[in-house]
Every structure is written in C-alpha cells, then in structure tokens.
Amino acid sequence: MAAVVEQRTIDVVPDDERHGTPVSQFTLWLGANLQITAVVTGALAVVFGANAFWSLIGLLLGNLLGGAVMALHSAQGPRLGLPQMITSRAQFGVRGAVVPLALVIVMYIGFFASGTVLAGQAVGELTHLGDTPGIAVFAVITAVAAAVGYRLVHVLGRVASVVCALAFLYLGARLLERADLAVLLHDRSFSFPLFLLAVSLSASWQLAFGPYVADYSRYLPRHTSTRATFWWTLSGSVLGSQWSMTFGALAAAAAPAAFVGHEVSYVVSLGGTGLIASALYFVIALGKLTINVLNTYGGFMSLVTGVSGFRRPGPSGAGGKGSTITPRGRAFHITGIMLAGTAVALLGKDSFLTSFKDFLLFLLTFFTPWSAINLVDYYLISRERYDIPALSDPAGRYGAWNGRALAVYAAGVLAQFPFLATHFYTGPLVSPLGGADISWLVGLAVPAALYWTVTRNDTGRVPPAAPEEPGEPGGPGGPGGPGSTPANTGESPTARPASRP
C-alpha cells in the first residue's frame, strides 16, 4: 500500500523517484478536459447570445492563448521537481506567497463544487439515489482518490482519455443525427463583445489550470525536454477542451430549451435509454472524477504550501519543516477541501449555470496577474534558476515577504476592474467597449510589464548558473539541445536553465 499511496507532498522529488514520459501529460489533460463542465463552458457562449460559428472560433482562440500560458507552467515541473505554487515563494516571499495561495484554494473549492454538482447528477441517476446523495457519494470517492495521489491521478487520466474520447465520438455523431451542422453554423453575424466572451470563457478555463499544472509533471525525469513537456501538455489540454466545448456550443445551439438547466440529462438522452444511458452516466462521472481529483490534490498541495511557509525550515527540501506530512495529516487536509467543496455544491446547485459563468470570469481577475508574474520571473528574470533551499527559509534569498511583487500583484488585480463584466459587477469601461470583457488581457499585460520593470535589476535574488557539462543529456553534446537538462538534483542551491518552448 505504501508503494501505491504517494509519500511526498511539496518537497523536491529526487531523481531516483522520477518516472514517466511527457506523453503522460497529453493523456492526463485530454482526459481532464473531456468532461461535462467543459461542455457547459462551451455552451455558455451560445447561451449568453453568441452564434455557434463565432463561438467555436472564439473558444479555440481562448483555448490556444490560455493553454500556452498553462503549458509554460507545466514545463517547470520536470525542471524543478516541485509542485507549482511553492515556486511562488521565489516571487512573493516564503510567507508572502500565502496571498495568491489563499485565492488558489478558493478556486479549487469552487471547481470542486461546480464539478460535483454535475457529477452528482450523474451518480444520482446511476445509483437512483437522487442529486444530493449523488453529490455526497461523488465527493467521498474524489477525496479517496486524491489521498492516494500522483500515480492514481495519471491512471485516471489515461483511462478517461480513452473512455471519454470514445463516448464523445458517439455523442457527437448522435447530436449531428438530430441537428443539421450547416444550419447550426449558418448564422455568421459577428458581435465583438460576444466573441470576446467566448475567448474569455475558454481562456479562463485554461488559465485556471496554471496554479497546479506542474504538480502533475514534477515526477518526470530531470532530462525530460522542456519543449516536449510544453507541447504534450498544450496539445492534450487544447484538444480535450475544444472538443468538449464544441460539443457544448453545438448542443446549446441545437436545443437551447432542452439543454440549458438539464445538461447531464440532455447529454445522456442523446444516447438513448437502458444500458447505454447507464454507460453515459458512468462516463460523465468518470470525466468529472478525473478533474475533481486534480482540484482536490491541488488544493491539498496549496494548503500544505501555505501552512509550511510559517514553520521553521527543515534540513532539506523546499517545503520547510513538515513538508512531508503523515497519512493522517494528508487525509485531514483533503477532507477539509472535500467538505468545503461539497457544502458549496449543495448550496449552489439550483443556480449553477449563471453562477459558474461568473465564477469562471472572475477567476481571471486573480489568476492572470499571478501567472504573468510567475512566468516573467521564471523565464525572464531568474532564467529558470531557483535557489531551492531558500524557498523554505524566510531569512534566505527570497525573504519572508516581497513587498514589490505583492504590490505588482495588487496593481494587476485592480487594473482589471474597469474592464470586468460579470453578473454582480461591471466596470465603467465595459460599456464604451460595447460590453466586451478584456480584463484578462489587462491582467496579463500590466503585471508582466510592472514586474519586469521593478525586478529586472534585482540580481541578488537570482542564483548563479551552474556550468554545462559536454556530453551530458541536454548539454551541448547530449539529447534535448543546449541547456535542456538541469545539473542539480533539486536539493542543491541552484539549477541551470532549461530550453524554452
């Protein structure tokens, strides 16, 4: 059992425990995106007024843009051997990182809740228990799987990528038997605000993976090509999400009255009744289980990261004292996330669609500045070199609180509010733009430029580069190209640059 249940949390994964290939990122993210919540996300563009033709183009553009940002985070995993959010300590300070961490945990709970609403419907139908018991059963299964950890997460991804792909092929064929694709795409009238809504919906979907995507690539061998990690992650995530969102947009355009508010039952009705219906309910639950386990696992990692930042640094690793916790502690953290997410799911299940749309768009306000700061620091300022022991030492290179980075983060959040359009708040510059929400673009550009300006000469935070060794994998004479393999094991103070995608 000890070999099955993951033993590590936020500490560095040593080389002798690394395994897998970058292809695992494709199957994981394909399986994580071939699911009912992505279907609903694609449908939202049509539900809120866009035609199917421009919705599909806008969704693709958003998936590509957001997916590229998300995949750049994924490429950090093999390089550092660390989960994603602990690297935020290099930007915000060992304790200052708790600011984005707290918001990330809220995100995980929100996604857990939204996924559990839809999966709970499927489990309730499959077991004939009803929605509320179905939500509870699904939540418990999710928590158990997250407690097992990394290996099971990837197994679920591989299984879901095959099973859900076959199911979506079947459902797509059934949908096109009921609706004429040419008719659905006939209306090509263009509305810029609605087009941007579609872009923002899919971009926010992808960007929301950023705070935990490296959690699932950090066990890859250190010599893994950065480019390979980037492209396999990007292709799996974009293919899976665009496939699901296309299905959702076409379903909403074909049968808006039947689909909206009855997403799970409508999807199952496309397949028929009896055994086929039961199989489709199972597929919906499996797809949601994959992504909900990711959300729960990521929330667990973020909780441990936040708590450990206020403890004394341990003798090794990046997490500080207590970065590797007991099975009981692991279960405690995960149970807390499960209970919070289940409570939100039960409270919000009757107003799911509108609430989920606003939740997705509002997420961008807080996570695009974090992504911009993290990526600028990693790729442009630190040049892919972090002092890993200092990530656990408030008195070390990165300090306890980095006031400049936190100020930039706050400025990046505030800069978006004039451009933000949600059900509960609309900024003053939305109307002059015809109702378009461009806040996420502002949230990427403003903090990226500000952070580069205030930190580009801060050389004391950047450890020196380790020398390249000819013939080493990734070195001048090895596979992967110059600089694609770090020299350190994750426990030495520095790491040398990896090749960028």
The answer to whether the CB of 19 falls within 8 A of the CB of 219 is yes
Q: Does a structural domain hold residue 165?
A: yes
- The answer, yes or no, to whether residue 424 has pLDDT greater than 80, is no
Give the total number of structural domains in the chain. Answer: 1
Structure tokens at 244: 């699901």
Rounded CA gap, 222 and 76, in Å?
11
Q: Does a structural domain hold residue 80?
A: yes
The answer to whether the CB of 118 falls within 8 A of the CB of 96 is no
What pLDDT band is residue 197 in, cutting at 50, 70 and 90?
confident
Tell me, what's the pLDDT at 355?
65
- The answer, yes or no, to whether residue 271 has pLDDT greater than 70, is yes
Give the residue among 330, 399, 318 at the shortest CA–CA distance from 86: 318
Rank 9-23, 157-171, 410-424 by mean pLDDT and report only the highest.
157-171
**Mean pLDDT, range 224-238, rounded to an integer:** 96
CATH number of the domain where residue 225 is located: 1.10.4160.10
Give the residue among 500, 498, 501 at the shortest CA–CA distance from 474: 498
Tell me, what's the pLDDT at 497?
35
| pTM higher than the cut 0.75 | yes
- Could you tell me which residues come within 8 angstroms of residue 221 by beta carbon, excluding any fewer than 6 positions away? 15, 18, 19, 20, 78
Q: Does a structural domain hold residue 296?
A: yes
The residue with greater pLDDT, 43 or 131, is 43
Tell me how far the alpha carbon of residue 326 is from its chain's centroid: 26
Tell me, what's the pLDDT at 314?
53
Q: Does a structural domain hold residue 480?
A: no
CA distances from 210 to 28, 128, 320, 364, 461 (A): 15, 37, 23, 11, 23
Phi, psi of 421 (to 5 degrees): -130, 105
Interhelix angle 52-74/36-47, rounded to 10 degrees, is 140
Proportion of the chain above pLDDT 90, given as a percent: 46
The β-bridge partners of 421 are: 426
Rounded CA gap, 419 and 394, in Å?
36
Range of the domain at 202: 15-365
The residue with greater pLDDT, 343 or 60, is 60
What pLDDT band is residue 106 in, cutting at 50, 70 and 90?
confident
Q: Does a structural domain hold residue 413?
A: no
- Could you tell me which residues come within 8 angstroms of residue 287 by beta carbon, excluding any fewer than 6 positions away? 31, 34, 35, 36, 160, 164
**Mean pLDDT, range 11-37, rounded to an integer:** 93
Q: Does a structural domain hold residue 497?
A: no
What pLDDT band is residue 480 in, cutting at 50, 70 and 90?
very low
Q: Does a structural domain hold residue 378?
A: no
Q: Does a structural domain hold residue 340?
A: yes
Phi, psi of 152 (to 5 degrees): -65, -35
- The answer, yes or no, to whether residue 195 has pLDDT greater than 70, is yes
